[in-house]
């Protein structure tokens, strides 16, 4: 019975449908409550969600990500949102490790900061700016679902294709390498999770010195089509291949070298040493990695 109830709750939390009771209640609340009150409601809801959501509710790629991280590592959560991945990374690096969690949207950053504080994630440092390849003020937009509600999770840098009716927010953007320069030195980064909504190429260009010095394993949501030579996705794959990091995707059982025509929401970018480390994992966790190199 408990498993059935958990399954129902999971569907309610993860499905963004206009008929989902959670979504319906949110739409009504957004229409009748002032923005300041709605923000407090969301803040409490996300804090409850973070406290009560099981760790295995993340995307299935998380099972591999955990095995690319060791206690004491320094890691990046780019596009941390409310902190679900930050929580996973915090547990993986342990008390001697460090998580840099970047979230540029002020409202979402407030949720993230509150969640990190409530959960006592003392090894997570929250940073309220966007990573990019240039230091400037950037306009981000908040897309809307077809039923009219705003989708803050999909906040993205404004482009010529952005809907003019979407909410616009000004945020600060800066390069990762410059950020570490200001701190005096850059730590060795072992792992990068990046969900930058079409801005991942700029994120990587602003972090090239870190990538070359650390050669981190990466899990990146890459959009749109990595086979289209005119797309930033194509350039993203090319940049990382030039740095010795080849693309893979996780099919639920094993990592598979990404081939032309194959599409995944997220891709791992790994070097030979990452594959060797994963191959040492128990057989039932990650299989056939020794034969998985492109």
Could you read off the pLDDT of 49-84 as tens digits, one per residue?
888 887 777 778 998 999 999 999 999 999 999 999
What's the confidence (pLDDT) of residue 197? Answer: 92
Q: What is the pTM of this model?
A: 0.87
Tens digits of per-residue pLDDT, 221-241?
998 999 999 999 999 999 999
The answer on pLDDT for 92 being more than 80 is: yes
For the record, the structure tokens of 216 come out as: 């981190």
Task: State both tokens at 94.
Answer: 């342990």
- Is residue 38 within a helix (H) or strand (E), and if so which, with residue range? helix 35-52
Q: Please give the mean pLDDT across all residues of the chain.
A: 87
Can you give the length of the chain in residues? Answer: 294
Residue ranges of the domains in the chain? 52-291
pLDDT, residue 6, reads 55
For residue range 145-193, list pLDDT tens digits in order: 765 678 888 899 999 989 999 999 999 999 999 999 999 999 999 999 9
Task: Provide the 10 A C-beta neighbour count for residue 114.
Answer: 18
Q: Which fold has domain 52-291?
A: Rossmann fold (3.40.50)
Nearest CA to 280 among 292, 270, 290, 268?
290
**Rounded Cα distance, 206 and 178, in Å:** 8
What are the residues facing 248 on neighbouring strands?
257, 268
Helix (H), strand (E), coil (C) string for 256-276 = EECCCCCCCCEEEEECHHHHH
Using CA atoms, how far residue 235 sits from 223, 225, 232, 262, in Å, is 11, 10, 5, 17
With a cut of 50, say whether residue 134 has pLDDT above it. yes
pLDDT number for residue 53: 81
Q: Three-state SS for 173?
A: strand
Tell me the C-alpha distance between 42 and 105, whole Å. Answer: 15
Collect all residues with Cβ–Cβ distance below 8 Å to 17 and sequence separation of at least 6: 23
């Amino acid at each position: 019975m408990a498993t059935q109830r958990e399954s129902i709750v999971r569907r309610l939390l993860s499905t963004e449908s206009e008929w989902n009771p959670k979504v319906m209640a949110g739409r009504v609340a957004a229409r009748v409550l002032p923005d300041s009150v709605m923000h407090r409601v969301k803040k409490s809801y996300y804090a409850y969600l973070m406290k009560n959501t099981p760790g295995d509710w993340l995307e299935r790629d998380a099972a591999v990500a955990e095995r690319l991280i060791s206690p004491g590592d320094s890691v990046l959560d780019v596009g941390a949102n409310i902190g679900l991945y930050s929580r996973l990374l915090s547990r993986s690096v342990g008390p001697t490790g460090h998580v840099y969690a970047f979230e540029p949207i002020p409202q979402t950053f407030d949720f993230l900061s509150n969640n990190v504080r409530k959960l006592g994630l003392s090894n997570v440092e929250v940073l309220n700016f966007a990573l990019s390849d240039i230091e400037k003020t950037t306009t981000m937009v908040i897309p809307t679902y077809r039923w009219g509600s705003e989708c803050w999770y999909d906040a993205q840098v404004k482009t010529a294709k952005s809907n003019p009716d979407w909410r616009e927010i000004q945020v600060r953007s800066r390069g990762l390498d410059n950020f570490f320069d200001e701190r005096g030195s850059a730590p060795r980064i072992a792992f990068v999770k990046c969900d930058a909504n079409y801005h991942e190429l700029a994120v990587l260009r602003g972090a090239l010195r870190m990538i070359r010095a650390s050669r981190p394993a990466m899990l990146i949501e890459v959009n749109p089509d990595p086979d289209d030579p005119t797309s930033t996705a194509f350039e993203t794959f090319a940049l990382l291949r030039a740095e010795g990091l080849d693309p893979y995707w996780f099919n639920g059982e094993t990592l598979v070298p990404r081939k032309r025509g194959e599409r995944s929401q997220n891709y791992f970018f790994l070097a030979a040493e990452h594959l060797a480390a994963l191959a040492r994992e128990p057989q039932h966790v990650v299989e056939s990695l020794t034969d998985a190199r492109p």
